[in-house]
Chains A and B, each alone.
Chain A
Amino acid sequence: MRILYVTPLYLPWLGGLEVLCSQLLDELRGRGHEVAVVTAVNDAVTPRGLGEVDGVPVLRTDAYRMVTWQDPMGMLLIEREIATFIDDFKPDVAHGHDGGPLLWMYQRAARRRWPLLVTLHIVMTRHFADRLAGLAKLLAASDWVTGVSDDVVADTLSYVPAAGDRISVVRNGALPPGPTAGPVPDGPARLLCIGRLVPQKGFDRALDALAVVVRRRPEVHLTIVGVGPADRDLTEQVERLGLGPSVTFAGRVEHDEIGGLLAESTAVVMPSRFEGLPIVALEAAWMARPVVGTDVAGLRMAVADGVNGLLVAEDDREALAGAILRLVDDRDEARGLGAAARARVEREHSLAACVDQYEAIYARLVAEHAG
């Protein structure tokens, strides 16, 4: 089968969506499928046009910027660029990830010549409740919709009820990010935040909680891995809270280094404002590390409070600090939660199982389209 991914973010950028897409594509190629990617860029450094990442043809377009700049000729040219690329690749099925201008342009370029599956990765209504009409239209023009968790599907049905007969859950899967790790180590506690530096991830909350934690356990250290537009705000927050010696900004880290960082950690802190089913939580679980996070839709699909991690109410700095201190002080509990997380991810979130489900949807959509 020839499978086209349409995703706003792709390698070399590193984030959950990028890691998930690249792992899904690797697995699909391993099963004999041909794959290609249409993606977008929004920076001044990434080359536009056709390239290749790990042997996968990748078309990088300026879709986002042309819509932002309200440039009609730019939009027409990108639509033409996408049409030329997919005419050449001749996909049997297209798989869009999240809905944005790129998916809109793909739909215009493809003109329904191939079946389209759209996967939604986050709970939208939490912060975008009054801005979902456009997304609802994109989903209405697709052949099937999946959500990466039950929370995402329930959320989607709240703004596209008509999708009820063509939507399903395909839970995210992930590969272990490194060799099998030992149990949570003793010694000075090391906390990790991993992800794009954006308000959604709530790393500002992690810093607020850390300020409480280090009053009692000054040896605790937090490493923030990732880059993004909130970088400056977080840096200023660290200075304001006097947390300089307790925080390291690691910036961009190659994905193959994530396993090692997790192995050295005591816990992963995820104070997100909303999620879908975060890959970071699955990768932490593969490395037998507990997550301390907020009890928000999407994250609670990966973390069960007191079973494989700890969840606290949003915007409760003291509660988040308390949960962190609980694992800092009781490594046996941290080890127990980590082991449970590992058992659960093995059981419920293997990449192979995830690809099995997508493969079955692709085959059905292709058959229906041919019929």
Chain B
Amino acid sequence: MKLNPWVNHDRLDDEVMVINLESGAYFAFDGAAADAWTLLAAGHAAGSVGEQLTGRYEVDIATVTGDVERFAAELERDGLLVADPTPTPTPAAAVTNGHQSGPALDALPVRLPYVTPTIDKYDDLQDLLLLDPIHEVDEGGWPVGRQD
């Protein structure tokens, strides 16, 4: 799997915001979901993601790997990840063959409570924009009066 090039995403601490520019849908991930997204979007396979999450969360490898596989499948259904015809590189191989594979996550000194990664999807924010009275305010701004 690899990141759909029509996806915009950013992470701030333990929160991730993802926007599918093709569908206009917004996604928000926290905690383990944010970590799983960060790794999957960087090209890591589900097994590798599961291993890294066990270093950060109180969860066993079998459970988390299954959860990550389901999470990745949902991300693919929502068009955030797409099938990658090239073999998935390990992070070490990625450096040598030029694949854009992100850094691994650090293990934490104390593992955090685990919450199964789920997708928080908002596919109607563009509609909310239209309902908001502020959308009628132009760049000139409300306090700006007529020029004549």
Contacts and interface: CB of A to CB of B under 8 A. Distances in A.
Interface of A: 8-9, 12-15, 17, 40-46, 64, 67-68, 70-73, 75-77, 79-80, 98-102, 104, 108, 124, 128, 131-135, 137-138, 196, 198, 200, 227-229, 231, 249, 251-252
Contact of B131 (A131, A198, A231): A131
B110 interface: no
A145 B18 CA distance: 29
A241 to B, nearest CB: 18
A74 to B, nearest CB: 9
12 contacts: A8-B133, A12-B143, A43-B142, A43-B143, A44-B140, A67-B128, A72-B9, A99-B132, A100-B128, A133-B127, A135-B128, A252-B143
Interface string B110-148: 000000000000101101111111111111111111100
Contact of A44 (B11, B12, B139, B146): B139
Contacts of B137: 9, 13, 42-43, 228-229
B120 to A, nearest CB: 9
Q: Interface residues of B toward A: which range?
A: 35 or more
Contacts of A71: 8
Interface of B: 8-12, 15-19, 21, 26, 28, 122, 124-125, 127-146
A172 B124 CA distance: 29
A13 B128 CA distance: 21
Contacts of B122: 104, 134, 137
A20 to B, nearest CB: 12
A13 B12 contact: no
A70 B129 contact: no
Nearest to B12: A76
A13 B134 CA distance: 10
A131 B17 contact: no
A100 B134 contact: yes
B79 to A, nearest CB: 15
Contact of A100 (B8, B16, B129, B145): B129
Contacts of B131: 98-100, 124, 128, 131-132, 134-135
A229 B146 contact: no
Contacts of A132: 127, 131
A13 B146 contact: no
B32 to A, nearest CB: 16
A9 B133 contact: yes
A80 B127 contact: no
B9 A45 contact: no
A252 B146 CA distance: 8
Contacts of A67: 26, 125, 128-129
Nearest to A67: B125
Across the A-B interface, the 5 shortest Cβ-Cβ residue pairs: A43-B141, A100-B132, A134-B124, A13-B142, A251-B145
Given A72-B18, A73-B12, A100-B132, A131 B127 contact: yes
A72 B141 contact: no
A261 B19 CA distance: 48
Contact of A108 (B28, B124, B130, B140): B28
Contacts of B15: 76, 79
B132 A227 contact: no
A82 to B, nearest CB: 13
A45 B144 contact: yes
A132 B126 CA distance: 11
A249 B147 CA distance: 11
Which of B9, B17, B144 has the most chain A CB atoms closer than 10 A to its own CB? B17
Which of A14, A124, A227 has the most chain B CB atoms closer than 10 A to its own CB? A227
Contacts of B9: 72
A45 B18 CA distance: 29
Contacts of B129: 64, 67-68, 100-101
A72 B21 contact: no
B131 to A, nearest CB: 6
A231 B134 contact: no
B130 A128 contact: yes
A43 B140 CA distance: 6
Contacts of A43: 137-144
A76 B15 CA distance: 8
A45 B26 CA distance: 28
Contact of B135 (A64, A133, A138): A64
A177 to B, nearest CB: 19
Contacts of B141: 41-46
B142 A14 contact: yes
Nearest to A121: B133
A117 to B, nearest CB: 18
Contacts of B17: 72-73, 75-76
